[in-house]
Structure 1
Amino acid sequence: MTLAELIAQARTALDTAITTRQTEQDALVAMRSDENLTEEAVRTQVAARDTADAEVTRRQTALDELLAEEAREAEIAALQARTTPAANRAPAYDQVAHVGQEERTYRPDQDRRGSNFERDVAAAFLGDYEARDRLARHMTEERVERGDQLERAAGTGAFSGLVVPQYLTDLYAPAAAARRPFADAIRGHDLPAQGMTVNLSRVTTTTSVDVQSAENAAVAEQDIDDTLMTINVQTNAGQQTLSRQAIERGAGVEPVVLDDLFRRYATTLDSKLLNQATNGLTNVATAVAYTDGTPTAAEFYPKILESLAGVEAALLDMASGENIAVMHSRRWYWMQNALSSTWPLISQPGIAAQMAGTNLATTYGSGVRGTLPNGTPVIVDNNIATNLGAGTNEDEVYLVDRNECHLWEDPSAPMYIRAEQPKAANLGVLMVVYGYFAYTHVRYAQARKIGGTGLVTPTFTGV
């Protein structure tokens, strides 16, 4: 084993020792808040913490010794270079002309299956500093060659070193996912670092102001009061166990599985915001019925305005004015299919017409798809259910003030765990993706949903 490998191993051991020590310290802090605490339990935990402390010191000493040895070796090499006759010394790299291009860190001609990349991803998660350096170098190369694609990929910067080399993925066809259009459109917050609830104060009893009945008479008075609003923090998670054979003998299997886990994570989170029992948007929004055996887009549009009127009436001066309409893609295209007696109800890009709305021609999941005749932006989200109603063939359209739909997420989510030990006897590797989130649509009860027989599976007849 080389000196560099020994140093990398010592750094990994030190990282592990520090993590263990922090775990013991956290346990001690948590224990001290326990009302049933005993002195013996505290002494035991303090001893465990001190043992972990000693291990950190031992590992740090070992690493310092190796680093000192490395520095001494560098000094010897420099001394040797000074004492070697100039005639026998090769010219320095920066003193020789070079033509060409630096080789990529991961190359298809040397690593067709991408096993070197996969091994570095795994080693980096286990603390291998050299693997992290190679992945960082790879990310720099990716930004140079595919920077425009990486900038469009939401959250790529949070997974530095995990962008799969292009030659491994140019023919990869991931399973389609609805992803998170609604979650990305509403008001986001960083989830607090601790706790499993988010608590908000909501004023439910207001003060009172009225005209004074007579001079020196008592003026109106009512005591203000609030109600604590408690929002649960939820854990969104998924796992996949891969055989070592699949990872080591397959072509890019691990990155493909990781990508799919991230896609399912995003889809599930968005679906919960819309459909979850009790708190999902469909269960808290006030219903606006659209019942029609022969529905048309022209008849449907007034229901949208009715819903928006309800949103503003509920919010009054708290309305931000940033209302959005959230609908399934089948409903959006049904509205575009409709024609008025003279002009298209929804215009298309590049067509100069007296339009009543616009289609921005953006792709699914990329934000606002268009605007309705009154200027309300449209978010298309295929996590909206299409099996509602008596005939199990209806969808719903939601009208909300986007700033009053709140989503708290951990800034690092989703997080990734790669564990080999639990499945070692089966030659399995466990991959887990998880994250914490909390949400509410009812800080003010403002959301509206349009549903009914007028929103059955659409037929595209131009009306």
Structure 2
Amino acid sequence: MTLAQLIAQLRGQMATKLTERNGFAVQLAELRAQDNPDQDKVAELRRSKDGLDAELDQMQVRVADLEAELARDDAADRLAREVNPGAPRPAYDQVARVGTEERTYRPDVDPRGVRFARDVASAFLGEYGAQARLARHMEEETVERSVAVTGAQDRAVGTGAQEQRAVGTGAFAGLVVPQYLVDLFAPMATAGRPFADACRPHELPPTGMTVNLGRGTTGTSVDDQSAENANVSETDYDDSLLTFPVRTAAGQQTVSRQGVDRGVNIDDTIIEDLYKRYHANVDNKLLNLASVGLTNVATAVTYTDATPTVEELYPKTIEALAGVEGALLDVASGENIAVMHSRRWYWLQNAMSTKWPIISQPGIIEKTIGANYAERYGSGVRGILPNGTPVIVDNNIATNLGVNTNEDEIYVGDKNEFHLWEDPAAPLLIRAEHTKAASLGVLLVVYGYYAFTHTRYAHARKVAGTGLIPPTFTGV
């Protein structure tokens, strides 16, 4: 069997396995779209699909190696015939040839160069076959454009050198293919979910659209007995029910069939953006949702100043933390956090001072106001305040608050009393092709369920007021 026949055989096997693999993918998508999918079946389909992916990867590598070897053999054969036209054909190739060697990209087969352009794009995505075909094409160009130095012709010297011409790329508008750096595509930036990731996580119950939990409202009593045999203190314990809804976050996008079929990673890019927007929405609602968001349930500690300074702001955060502890008492976990906008955190870092807290804290270098951990946005704790309170930076915090709609806020509280219930499978993806078939569209829907509360114990505080207007970054 020749190399060309072996490559054709492998490609046929790959086509069969690819069809089987895509069948598993469709079954998996349909199963995941169900309300209560069979998780064992989901796992079985994923194993089958992953196994075929691994086989296809190995076969793709082998085909690429064979194509590269065939290209080298063909180039060596052509070069041998040019150097010694009467030489016998090499034993490695038993395929009969008549006339010239067939090119990888031929204008009679592909007059518009679509196959070449598609291979250029695919090569950037790591497709081995496309890379091998482009390499073979370059070898063909090198060999066929190589010429000897003759007469007054301005040509390159030496075997294998390319023909030189005094002409620029502007003369070949139809041949100079624009390069699209797909791997450097710049996705949309989002504020993410820094606060949501800092909340106390819970798995959302599998059924129901409300979550209920009890909380004590009237405690028992203990007092000194007034006299021997007198009745001792008695107060009936009472509780109330805290109820909050299961919320549905969802977004959709319809993509044209042409974009899916002929574009590069269009549907994957949109799905990734929908996922990011889903998480940013959850975080935004935890902070800003009417009536129940953190900004609406936290007790305000007002900081009013037309020319605010860090030295004035810091005592307000300590006052807020004192309020948190006064509300929680012995049920406090001790894991307090401060949540602020990035503009406020950098303003704190910008400050210079000759004053420092009287009481030092572990982990804080002497005569510094806190510490910055130099972590990137959304990676967790960014630093700590002078009293050791960790800081979460979250740009879902509103910056249009206050009378002049230009203030932000700083939130403090016990992170274990910021509760977030989420479906462990969320967000889910629906990829529907039949509903938009009449307009050749593919509908992509991302959705998920979540619930939250900050008021199991009403403890959170916020520093707010005109002292949190847009910061001014100045030196000493």
TM-score range, shorter chain: 0.5 to 0.7
Rounded to whole Å, the distance in 2 between the matches of 1:204 and 1:176 is 44
Q: Is the 8 A contact 1:115 1:248 kept in 2?
A: no
Residue 225 of structure 2 aligns to a residue whose secondary structure is: coil
Q: Is the 8 A contact 1:114 1:168 kept in 2?
A: no
Alignment of 1:182 with 2:187, yes or no, is no
> In the TM superposition, what is the alpha-carbon distance from 1:231 to its structure 2 partner?
1.3
Rounded to whole Å, the distance in 2 between the matches of 1:454 and 1:14 is 57
Task: Report 1:203-282 matches (<5 A).
Answer: 203-282=216-295
Matched residue type, 1:177:
T
For residues 302 and 7 of structure 1, do their structure 2 counterparts lie closer, same or farther at Cα, with a shift above 3 Å needed?
A: closer
> In the TM superposition, what is the alpha-carbon distance from 1:461 to its structure 2 partner?
2.0
Q: Is the 8 A contact 2:338 2:411 kept in 1?
A: yes
For residues 14 and 248 of structure 1, do their structure 2 counterparts lie closer, same or farther at Cα, with a shift above 3 Å needed?
A: closer
For residues 181 and 101 of structure 1, do their structure 2 counterparts lie closer, same or farther at Cα, with a shift above 3 Å needed?
A: farther
Rounded to whole Å, the distance in 1 between the matches of 2:367 and 2:323 is 28
Matched residue type, 1:291:
T
Rounded to whole Å, the distance in 2 between the matches of 1:343 and 1:10 is 66
Matched residue type, 1:211:
D
Q: Is the 8 A contact 2:124 2:182 kept in 1?
A: no
Residue 422 (structure 2) aligns with: 409
> In the TM superposition, what is the alpha-carbon distance from 1:248 to its structure 2 partner?
1.1
Task: Report 1:349-428 matches (<5 A).
Answer: 354-428=367-441
- Between the aligned residues of both structures, percent identity stands at 61
Query: In proportion to residue count, which structure has more helix?
Result: 1
Residue 436 of structure 2 aligns to a residue whose secondary structure is: helix
> In the TM superposition, what is the alpha-carbon distance from 1:169 to its structure 2 partner?
5.2
Rounded to whole Å, the distance in 1 between the matches of 2:222 and 2:435 is 66
Task: Provide Cα deviations, 1:137-180, integer angstroms capped at 9, x if missing partner.
Answer: xxxxxxxxxxxxxxxxxxxxxxxxxxxxxx98531101110000
- Aligned partner of 2:211 among 172, 187, 198: 198
Rounded to whole Å, the distance in 2 between the matches of 1:278 and 1:21 is 33
Rounded to whole Å, the distance in 2 between the matches of 1:407 and 1:231 is 11
- Aligned partner of 2:302 among 279, 285, 289: 289
Residue 303 of structure 1 aligns to a residue whose secondary structure is: helix
Rounded to whole Å, the distance in 2 between the matches of 1:6 and 1:329 is 49
Residue 408 of structure 1 aligns to a residue whose secondary structure is: strand
Residue 435 of structure 2 aligns to a residue whose secondary structure is: helix
Residue 336 of structure 1 aligns to a residue whose secondary structure is: helix
Rounded to whole Å, the distance in 2 between the matches of 1:301 and 1:9 is 58
For residues 307 and 110 of structure 1, do their structure 2 counterparts lie closer, same or farther at Cα, with a shift above 3 Å needed?
A: closer
> In the TM superposition, what is the alpha-carbon distance from 1:111 to its structure 2 partner?
3.5
Rounded to whole Å, the distance in 2 between the matches of 1:21 and 1:264 is 23
Residue 46 (structure 1) aligns with: none
Q: Is the 8 A contact 2:33 2:429 kept in 1?
A: no
For residues 22 and 235 of structure 1, do their structure 2 counterparts lie closer, same or farther at Cα, with a shift above 3 Å needed?
A: closer
> In the TM superposition, what is the alpha-carbon distance from 1:355 to its structure 2 partner?
1.6
Task: Report 1:290-309 matches (<5 A).
Answer: 290-309=303-322
Aligned length: 333
The list of structure 1 runs, each at least 4 consecutive aligned residues, that deviate by more than 4 angstroms after superposition, is 1-23, 100-103, 107-110, 112-116
Residue 170 of structure 1 aligns to a residue whose secondary structure is: helix
Say which is worse superposed, 215-224 or 323-332, in terms of deviation. 215-224
> In the TM superposition, what is the alpha-carbon distance from 1:12 to its structure 2 partner?
8.7
- Please identify the structure whose Cα radius of gyration is greater: 2
Matched residue type, 2:347:
W
For residues 15 and 402 of structure 1, do their structure 2 counterparts lie closer, same or farther at Cα, with a shift above 3 Å needed?
A: closer
> In the TM superposition, what is the alpha-carbon distance from 1:286 to its structure 2 partner?
0.2
Alignment of 1:447 with 2:460, yes or no, is yes
> In the TM superposition, what is the alpha-carbon distance from 1:19 to its structure 2 partner?
9.6
Q: TM-score scaled by structure 2?
A: 0.63
> In the TM superposition, what is the alpha-carbon distance from 1:328 to its structure 2 partner?
0.3
> In the TM superposition, what is the alpha-carbon distance from 1:11 to its structure 2 partner?
7.3
Unaligned regions of 5+ residues in structure 1, if any? 24-92, 117-166, 345-350
Task: Provide Cα deviations, 1:319-373, integer angstroms capped at 9, x if missing partner.
Answer: 11100010000000111111002789xxxxxx97632310110111000000000
Rounded to whole Å, the distance in 2 between the matches of 1:329 and 1:9 is 44
Rounded to whole Å, the distance in 1 between the matches of 2:206 and 2:324 is 33
Please provide the CA RMSD for this pair.
3.7
Q: Is the 8 A contact 1:290 1:454 kept in 2?
A: yes
